[in-house]
Structure 1
């Protein structure tokens, strides 16, 4: 039966107890030369479900909580244990050990912040009397002039939200850079996302990040909502660290 590959670590990092992988199959390890590959069996040509994606991510997060793990992209499969040993441990063991050493003692934490639409619109109107006047004009406009007035209002509101998103994003990043080894900013998703930041953090400084995030969440409410995920493997930082084009997650 084919093997689904989750990630690679060294033999000091245990498999999380009672953790299962895709289709609730047990996780197991394939070891060699000081490395440990986390795998589970998967049915050939099985249809990918959302639960499979979540199981992949949760297995890696559980490993990351225990030690350094290099994540593989979802969907990497190999036919048997011998292939895993050859393709990962024997052929690429040097690169893997180098990356494990580079990220030793580090983990990723991810912070994403989205504006709360109603509160953001209220704040935009509070800041700009001209925007209030334009809104009031639209409400009084005749049917003939209303479409063009609504278009101008929509454009003005979108511009005001862009300013708010930028301000909130800058505020969040400014607070996080002081507690992170590195910050990687993702592309904004949707019109209300202010920032998505992956933080590379020393394990012994995670409590500082936790405190900073708690303070940010309180300060930003109710204008924006903050989501905080981790510990995670260093997803956002592997491409810059790897000299090859592998299937790192």
Structure 2
């Protein structure tokens, strides 16, 4: 009886996966090998429900492998009916596409830095920088009940504009500090009113400690105005689209 397999990503044969590593549904992680490639998989029940734990296991597995060597990550949910299909579809049919990508990212990893303003501190800083905001705030406090709504609207619009300027300045400053440590930089779309930047760095493995030190300094310099979330090592998620033909469902 054939067993469906969940696919995590593709490495080369230089990457050895720890024997005790588990993935989705706590199933053992294993690989399907051929022509210098290793496809990382685990068995999965055909009718299994997708849980949040499965999504996290997929991501954590790829991050764990990224600490060991280059891995090209597949999107969550890529499954194939059996090992032979994996071998045919990825190793035999797509090997000539995959091997150059592994070579391109050899010795590189992704590090991700998210920058978020702290709301109350950001508002204080915006007021400190812009006396007009202080005047609008005082106008709201003095306004009659009939005038209060329009005054509050003006103040809200002015605060939003001031926060946009502050976010952009903080985000650009962090990018400027981190960019010299990276081979390439990609910026994600900021989310919400307080996120200043989502920065993806493609970094040489032997320069990760340099990024670590820069992030530590930035955290100290930006406190208490902003917080930094630092994730990695990761596979080169943010750089695959630009490097590949798009024929495969890379993450």
Q: Distance in 1 between matches of 2:40 and 2:12?
A: 10
Q: Distance in 2 between matches of 1:45 and 1:235?
A: 28
Alignment equivalent of 1:171, drawn from 173, 186, 204: 173
- Cα drift, residue 143 of structure 1: 1.3
Task: Say whether residues 1:150 and 2:152 are aligned partners.
Answer: yes
> 2:211 maps to which residue?
209
Q: Distance in 1 between matches of 2:39 and 2:247?
A: 19
Which moves more between the two structures, 37-46 or 60-69? Answer: 37-46
Whether the 8 Å contact between 1:16 and 1:63 is mirrored in structure 2 is: no
Q: Distance in 1 between matches of 2:114 and 2:181?
A: 16
Matched residue count: 249
Q: Distance in 1 between matches of 2:86 and 2:55?
A: 21
What SS does the aligned partner of 1:4 have? Answer: strand
Q: Distance in 1 between matches of 2:71 and 2:28?
A: 18
Superimposed CA distance per residue, residues 137-162 of structure 1 (whole angstroms, 9 cap, x where no aligned partner): 11221111111111000000000000
Which sections of structure 2, spanning at least 5 residues, go unmatched? none
**TM-score scaled by length of structure 1:** 0.98
Whether the 8 Å contact between 1:16 and 1:62 is mirrored in structure 2 is: no
> 1:234 maps to which residue?
236
Superimposed CA distance per residue, residues 149-186 of structure 1 (whole angstroms, 9 cap, x where no aligned partner): 11000000000000100100110000011000000000
Alignment equivalent of 1:159, drawn from 158, 161, 165: 161
> 1:132 maps to which residue?
134
Which sections of structure 1, spanning at least 5 residues, go unmatched? none
- Cα drift, residue 18 of structure 1: 2.8
What SS does the aligned partner of 1:8 have? Answer: strand
Which moves more between the two structures, 156-165 or 36-45? Answer: 36-45
- Cα drift, residue 19 of structure 1: 2.1
Taking structure 1 as reference, are residues 82 and 164 closer, same or farther at Cα in structure 2, changes over 3 Å only?
same
Superimposed CA distance per residue, residues 172-230 of structure 1 (whole angstroms, 9 cap, x where no aligned partner): 00001100000000000111110001000000111111111111111011000000000
> 1:192 maps to which residue?
194
What SS does the aligned partner of 1:145 have? Answer: helix
Superimposed CA distance per residue, residues 49-77 of structure 1 (whole angstroms, 9 cap, x where no aligned partner): 11111100000000000000000001000
Q: Distance in 2 between matches of 1:125 and 1:74?
A: 44
What SS does the aligned partner of 2:76 have? Answer: coil
> 2:90 maps to which residue?
88
Q: Distance in 2 between matches of 1:113 and 1:103?
A: 26
Q: Distance in 2 between matches of 1:149 and 1:244?
A: 51
**TM-score scaled by length of structure 2:** 0.97
Provide the alpha-carbon RMSD of the alignment.
0.9
Task: Say whether residues 1:53 and 2:55 are aligned partners.
Answer: yes
